[in-house]
Amino acid sequence: MQLLIEELREGEYQKLTSKKIVRNEFLIQPGSIENHLYFIESGAFRAFYLSEFEEHTIRFGYTGSIFTALDSFLSGKPTELYLQAIRESTIRIWPKKDFQAFMTSSNSRMQMYLKLLEEFVLQQMEREIDILTYSPSERFNRVLSRSPKLFQEIPLKYIASYLRMTPETLSRLKKS
């Protein structure tokens, strides 16, 4: 990811549109087709979906990360996700066609892209295992060790949703 951002900053990054996003604003909602990647310059976002009974947070993006509705970005089909600003944020918007042209312009960039996708798949598998097999306290500790910055950037109520626990449970775990 760092290599990709470094290559972008050498020229392509300055061409990307910058946009301020207010707290609670949506980048995308269910039924939309995602045609952009977002570089988060400042702020934080969450990706979530709604079931019949509650919101389920599945991913976060914060300063220095790339964020998108990956299901739709990769497939070209409508997403089921909401991408919402958790606080006021500034993003750079990279259109999909420009991203694809940039990534396919060299073998080294294609290797970076494949590595990014591999890392994402491994992160998702690790998260699935956490949710399916570990207790709330073990999930908390595993996420804390993997992503300590998460607890500095994201409000606890969203982290609780991500960890599939109540905010009260997360608060108790954090205190102990």
Q: Which of 16-25, 35-44, 127-136 has the lowest mean pLDDT?
A: 127-136
Specify if 143 maps to a domain. Answer: no
Mean pLDDT score, 15-36 = 96
Q: Containing domain of residue 47, as a range?
A: 2-105
Among all chains, which residue has been given the structure tokens 């709330």?
136
| Residue 148 pLDDT grade (very low, low, confident, very high; cuts 50, 70, 90) | confident
Mean pLDDT score, 10-25 = 87
Report which of 60, 58, 34, 56 is spatially closest to residue 46, judged by C-alpha positions.
60
Specify if 66 maps to a domain. Answer: yes
Rounded CA gap, 147 and 130, in Å?
14
Specify if 82 maps to a domain. Answer: yes
Specify if 137 maps to a domain. Answer: no
How large a percentage of the chain has pLDDT more than 90?
Answer: 62
Specify if 25 maps to a domain. Answer: yes
Q: How many domains does the chain fold into?
A: 1
Specify if 39 maps to a domain. Answer: yes
pLDDT at 89: 97
Specify if 145 maps to a domain. Answer: no
- Give alpha helix (H) positions in the chain: 2-9, 70-75, 96-103, 107-133, 136-146, 150-153, 156-162, 167-175
Under 8 Å between Cβ of 45 and 57: no
pLDDT at 5 over 90: no
Report which of 138, 172, 164, 168 is spatially closest to residue 53, judged by C-alpha positions.
164
CATH number for the domain including 97? 2.60.120.10
Among all chains, which residue has been given the structure tokens 């590595």?
115
pLDDT at 52: 87
Residue range 36-69, pLDDT digits in tens: 999 999 999 999 999 988 899 999 999 988 899 9
**Which tokens hold the place of 26?**
């949506």
| Residue 1 pLDDT grade (very low, low, confident, very high; cuts 50, 70, 90) | low
- The reported pTM is 0.88
How large a percentage of the chain has pLDDT more than 70?
Answer: 95
pLDDT at 88 over 90: yes
Q: What's the whole-number average pLDDT of the chain?
A: 90
